[in-house]
Amino acid sequence: MTGGEGGGPERYGGPLPIAVLASGQGTNLQALLDTVHGREARIVAVASDRPAAPALRRAGDAGVPTATFVRADFPDRAARDEAMAGWLTDRGARAVVLAGYMALLTPGFLARFPAGVLNVHPSLLPAFPGLRAVEQAVEHGVKVFGVTVHFVDEGVDTGPIVAQRAVELPDATDPAAVLAALRPLEHSLLPDAVRRLAAGALRPPRR
């Protein structure tokens, strides 16, 4: 991450304050809590678009503030994202990590976090972006699956790639089994990307 054009990496006086967005079980959130939280980074807030998301319980158990922003409670996506961004910044978040967050974010939200918004996706992008990535890969008969961490931009899984890791599964036919095989890769790759972001070693896309 850098400041203005030509500037050096930005440094932080302590752990990088980050927010996490999650829609589901929160296993990637747990990986962040277990590895970088309180070390290279500090998770200051967790938000979800689903009130029943188990990720919220994981955050609460760790003493991290939580909130839910349901699309139906707002007139449009932009209003929802503006409210969510405001809540996250009020808690000091400088960067955001999407850990299984299943809703698209508006450009206005992304602009509120110039330090970067990272996402982890269960495919080797640019192959199989969007929803049902693993199902798509299985249906196409691929033999090598993988995980990508990338910066989020205005597209669907089109932002600059930060890191990728692959695993050979030549006989894969069950998407659930593939997802289970990919989990350890996600749980290693995402914290490593957050460490690099906190160290000023990653450059988010310019807006």
Give pLDDT, residue 55: 98
Indicate the Cα dihedral angle 84, 148, 156, 16, nearest 10°: 30
Question: 121 catalytic, yes or no?
Answer: yes
Q: Which of 121, 140, 150, 187 is catalytic?
A: 121
**Band of pLDDT at residue 2, cut at 50, 70 and 90:** very low
Assess whether pLDDT exceeds 50 at residue 129: yes
- Residue pair 26/59 in contact (Cβ under 8 Å)? The answer is yes
Give pLDDT, residue 13: 58
For 97, counting Cβ atoms within 10 Å of its Cβ (0-12 exposed, 13-18 middle, 19+ buried), the class is buried
Give pLDDT, residue 11: 52
Q: What integer best gives the mean pLDDT of the chain?
A: 92
**Band of pLDDT at residue 145, cut at 50, 70 and 90:** very high
Residues 6-59 pLDDT 10s:
333 345 557 999 999 999 999 999 999 999 999 999 999 999 999 999 999 999
Pairing of strands 117-121, 144-151: antiparallel
**Band of pLDDT at residue 175, cut at 50, 70 and 90:** very high
CA distance 152 to 143: 27
Hey, what domains does the chain have and what are their CATH numbers? Answer: 16-198 (3.40.50.170)
- Residue pair 96/118 in contact (Cβ under 8 Å)? The answer is yes
pTM, full prediction: 0.91
CA distance 103 to 171: 31
